[in-house]
Chain A
Amino acid sequence: MTIDALELIDLRAGYGSIEVLHGVSLRVPPATVVALLGPNGAGKSTLLKVASGTVKPTAGCLHVGGVHVNGAAASDLAHAGVCRIPEGRGIFPNLTVAENLQMWTGVGRLRAGEVAERTFTRFPRLGERRKQLAGTLSGGEQQMLAMSRALLVDPAVLLLDEISMGLAPLVVADLYELVHSVAAEGIAILVVEQFARTALAVADHAAILIQGRITRAGTPAEVEEHLSEAYLGGAA
């Protein structure tokens, strides 16, 4: 039996008196892409924040690599191999590309030179812009920079929050190709998307989260059948 890289058991969490997740269970085994879909406000981002230690669960269990980690700090979970790319762009806009990369060395205990080399080999475009402020890159380049963090540190669990947001379809397709190849390296990936079948195309499992509860889970094909009604109403 393989140990799940990430496991949530009947997890509850929220902000102050407002509970957002009302008992969510989800498993993400190694080398697997799980797509978590659902409308805005369903609690998808909150779930990722709980999994990465930014938001503390109020009930239930959070396991990383089989270890109970409820209440661990975000920086501790980062060292334990949980890597979340937040919604928007997971970069520091007022730091240069090279400085952004240097920030990534904190997690994997890598040398700055190594980091830059590996990244620029994979994304030559970032190499050309190493002295540029990250905030001035195009959306796709920013997302590449964000993803480069994930690729450097060989994380156990990768949490991707709406990486397609505001990006052109072609760029999104490229990014998901990347996601697929990363999973093939043995990493567990939880992808959160509001829309986008592109996510389902690379996913091994999928689930729909609505109002803080998982309403459907299964293979991408099974889940896909119910997508349209969840978003666009009955007769799409």
Chain B
Amino acid sequence: MTTFLALTLVGLVVGCIYALTACGLVVTYTTSGVFNFAHGAIGMVAAFTYWQLSVGWGLPVWLSLLLVLLVMAPLMGALVERVLVRPLYGAPIGVTLVVTLGLLISLIGLANLAWPPTTTRVLPKFFAGRTVTLASLVVSYNEILVIVTAALVAVTLRSFFTRTRTGIAMRAVVDDQELAALAGTNPQRVAQLSWALGATLAALAGVLLAPLVTLDILGLTLLVINGYAAAMVGRLRHLPATVSGALALGLLDSWLIGYAPGGVVNVLKPALPMFLLFGAVLFLKQERLRAGSLAGVRMPRTPSFRRSVGSAAAFVVAAWVVSGQLSAANLATGGQGLVLAFIMLSLVLLSGYGGQVSLCQLTFVGLGAFAMGKIGGGSPLGLLGAIALPAATGALIALTVVRLRGLYLALATLAFAQAMDVIFFSRALGYGGNLEVARPSLPGIDLGNDRTYFVLLAVVFAVGAVGVLALRRRAFGRRLVALNDSPAACATMGVSVATTKLIVLTASAGLAGLGGALFGGLHGSVSPNDFVLLNSLLLLLLATLGGLYTVSGAFLAAMFYALFPVLQNRYPGLGQVSYLLTGLGALSLGRNRYGMGGQLADLGERLRAWRLPAGQQAEVLHAAG
């Protein structure tokens, strides 16, 4: 009994902290309409800042808390809203997501620079060592503090939203933004307030959580996934349901540790938020297809089939010529870039054309490499498995979320990637160990030769690129773009919205998996580190920066991504800066949505127009849009 009570207490404490962060998330999302993927990162920065003030600089605890919770966090939230989020209102999910992910990556980069992970930092618990005994149960003051704080916050939030004019105004803006403005409330100021409030709750959760766990940048940032899962129980809208979800998660978590056998705990515990999230998603009702949205994207022109084949051939020849000049190390880096470029094609298909966002693309890559490694050394069967396994996984995820808004796919894939990180890859590939992955075999060609393999990768990318572009010009490509523009219109012309989304997600996962097999073959082996969630996010950010609507954008982004580790080796310390740069780059997408590839396509059109006689010039520019 005492064990049960003790476990329940721990669960309650953790659940309270999840509830705080989840409520912040919900308040910000419902009021401003922009989902903040950097919510956890804000909490992380707050926890570190609190450590810096109280432990690092030895300020009194109360002052440190005051500075973090009432000065830094609200200011940060308000600033983020003003600078990053405001240009995003009404933007499609693909854009808002990338911008807040950019913020997440930037904050991680920043934190790594400010608080290098080489030192261990410990935050003492509040009222360290002081406890009371309640009916044989030892309760620390720290635990009481957490529970009381959470309860106070809940009560305060409730009366804030029903009693104060500002709180009512926040709900009013959710109801009808235009009318709120007519009643003299500035909706942007209200949204800004919601960001300040959200950031404060994130910071509070971070500060309360940090003493209970190790002060770890990534760990604290990703704990927010628990918050997402809880918020999902409240359908990202209802605070009371969100709180119950959070408490349930905390309690389950704690009881699992206490009662389940060790092996099961190791697998289940990290996957708990994912299960909760998927479970909650299954209960969500099919969303109505709303008419009345005019969100078109100015896509760069798709080159003709002949032109794309010509460019692809030229690309392969160039790759062959270049490969002769490269050192073994550079061949590996270049090959890495080519494989990644191929993988990014799967994002061009899914996110660029289809407008869907997957945050677990590298998980699919990892599944592909895993299948290739486990099934017959380089045989066609292995390649088949490398496509089939991730494709089937993708289809499964899609089945649960395709009826819902794009945001849910992003959240589901994020939770999936995180769970796979912890449960699957670390185990299936062997702890820290490597899974050997053979190169595919082609009759008469020795792919063991690095240069030959490099050229093969160039060929694969070129073929993939031509294929993706051809698809875009064909019926399915048109359907994808149409679906992204107006699901309601698509449905009323006989297109099944869910099936189309399912197909594109499956295809994209399969493509990524094939990339995984080739990726494994490049290095001969893969390790769990290759597929961590953070890298998936980085991949998506870079792909978006490169320009999701163009194949050339994917190539540029991939090369940049491949150069990361190289630069990092040569100039240690640059690694965090590159995180920061990528993040900052992504932030700029709020203003220019087409990335570098889009700019290039634009430039190309301009040059073509310039070479043509004046009469044709106008026409081309017009067609280019």
Tell me the A residues contacting B by CB distance below 8 Å: 52, 54, 73-75, 78-79, 83-84, 86, 90-95, 99, 102-107, 112, 149
Q: Is the pair B175, A78 in contact by a Cβ cutoff of 8 Å?
A: no
Chain B, Cβ-Cβ closest to A53: B181
Q: Taking A78-B182, A92-B176 as given, write out 12 further A-B residue pairs in contact, using a Cβ cutoff of 8 Å, ordered by the A residue number.
A: A54-B178, A73-B181, A78-B181, A92-B180, A93-B176, A94-B171, A95-B168, A99-B168, A103-B165, A103-B168, A106-B183, A107-B183
Q: Does B324 contact A (CB under 8 A)?
A: no
Residues of chain B with a CB closer than 8 A to A73's CB = 181, 186
Q: Does B174 contact A (CB under 8 A)?
A: yes
Residues of chain A with a CB closer than 8 A to B178's CB = 54, 74, 86
Chain A, Cβ-Cβ closest to B174: A94
Tell me what chain B mostly uses at the interface: helix, strand, loop, or mixed: helix
Q: Sorted from nearest, which 3 A-B pairs have the closest CB atoms?
A: A106-B184, A107-B184, A92-B175
Q: Does B274 contact A (CB under 8 A)?
A: no
Chain B, Cβ-Cβ closest to A79: B184
Per-position 1/0 for B174-203, Cβ under 8 A of A: 111011111111100000000000000000
Residues of chain A with a CB closer than 8 A to B538's CB = none
Distance (Å) between the CB of B219 and the closest chain A CB? Answer: 38
Q: Is the pair B179, A92 in contact by a Cβ cutoff of 8 Å?
A: yes
A-B pair count, CB < 8 Å, reads 65
A78-B171 contact, Cβ under 8 Å, with A54-B178, A86-B179: no
Q: Is the pair B171, A95 in contact by a Cβ cutoff of 8 Å?
A: yes
Q: Does B162 contact A (CB under 8 A)?
A: yes
Chain A, Cβ-Cβ closest to B165: A102
Tell me the B residues contacting A by CB distance below 8 Å: 162, 165, 168-169, 171-172, 174-176, 178-186
Distance (Å) between the CB of B612 and the closest chain A CB? Answer: 26
Distance (Å) between the CB of A219 and the closest chain B CB? Answer: 30
Residues of chain A with a CB closer than 8 A to B183's CB = 78, 103-104, 106-107, 149
Q: Which of B178, B182, B183, B184 gathers most chain A CB within 10 Å? A: B182
CA of A221 to CA of B317, assembled, Å: 82
Distance (Å) between the CB of A84 and the closest chain B CB? Answer: 5
CA of A73 to CA of B188, assembled, Å: 12
CA of A149 to CA of B186, assembled, Å: 17
**A–B complex contacts, Cβ < 8 Å, 5 sampled:** A90-B179, A95-B171, A95-B172, A103-B168, A105-B165
Q: Is the pair A54, B172 in contact by a Cβ cutoff of 8 Å?
A: no
Q: Is the pair B184, A94 in contact by a Cβ cutoff of 8 Å?
A: no
Q: Is the pair B165, A86 in contact by a Cβ cutoff of 8 Å?
A: no
Residues of chain B with a CB closer than 8 A to A93's CB = 175-176
A102-B182 contact, Cβ under 8 Å, with A92-B176, A93-B175: no
Residues of chain A with a CB closer than 8 A to B175's CB = 92-95
A102-B168 contact, Cβ under 8 Å, with A92-B179, A93-B175: yes
Distance (Å) between the CB of B177 and the closest chain A CB? Answer: 10
CA of A120 to CA of B178, assembled, Å: 25
Residues of chain A with a CB closer than 8 A to B179's CB = 86, 90-92
Residues of chain A with a CB closer than 8 A to B176's CB = 92-93
A103-B185 contact, Cβ under 8 Å, with A54-B178, A92-B171, A93-B175: yes
A75-B186 contact, Cβ under 8 Å, with A92-B175, A92-B179, A103-B180: yes
Distance (Å) between the CB of B391 and the closest chain A CB? Answer: 40
Chain B, Cβ-Cβ closest to A82: B182
Contact partner of A54 (CB less than 8 A), chosen from B171, B181, B184, B186, is: B181
Distance (Å) between the CB of B51 and the closest chain A CB? Answer: 41
Chain B, Cβ-Cβ closest to A108: B184
Chain B, Cβ-Cβ closest to A54: B178
Residues of chain A with a CB closer than 8 A to B171's CB = 92, 94-95, 99
Q: Is the pair B182, A83 in contact by a Cβ cutoff of 8 Å?
A: yes
Q: Is the pair B165, A74 in contact by a Cβ cutoff of 8 Å?
A: no
CA of A89 to CA of B617, assembled, Å: 51
Residues of chain B with a CB closer than 8 A to A112's CB = 165
A75-B184 contact, Cβ under 8 Å, with A92-B175, A95-B175, A99-B162: yes
Q: Is the pair B181, A75 in contact by a Cβ cutoff of 8 Å?
A: yes
Q: Is the pair A103, B186 in contact by a Cβ cutoff of 8 Å?
A: no
Residues of chain B with a CB closer than 8 A to A52's CB = 182
Distance (Å) between the CB of A99 and the closest chain B CB? Answer: 5
CA of A83 to CA of B178, assembled, Å: 12
Residues of chain A with a CB closer than 8 A to B174's CB = 94
Q: Is the pair B181, A106 in contact by a Cβ cutoff of 8 Å?
A: no
Q: Which of B165, B175, B183 gathers most chain A CB within 10 Å? A: B183
Distance (Å) between the CB of B186 and the closest chain A CB? Answer: 5
CA of A102 to CA of B182, assembled, Å: 14
CA of A107 to CA of B180, assembled, Å: 10
Distance (Å) between the CB of B241 and the closest chain A CB? Answer: 16
Residues of chain A with a CB closer than 8 A to B186's CB = 73, 75
Residues of chain A with a CB closer than 8 A to B184's CB = 75, 78-79, 106-107
CA of A82 to CA of B185, assembled, Å: 14
Contact partner of A90 (CB less than 8 A), chosen from B162, B169, B182, B185, is: B182
Residues of chain B with a CB closer than 8 A to A104's CB = 183
Distance (Å) between the CB of B248 and the closest chain A CB? Answer: 26
Distance (Å) between the CB of B433 and the closest chain A CB? Answer: 55
CA of A73 to CA of B179, assembled, Å: 13
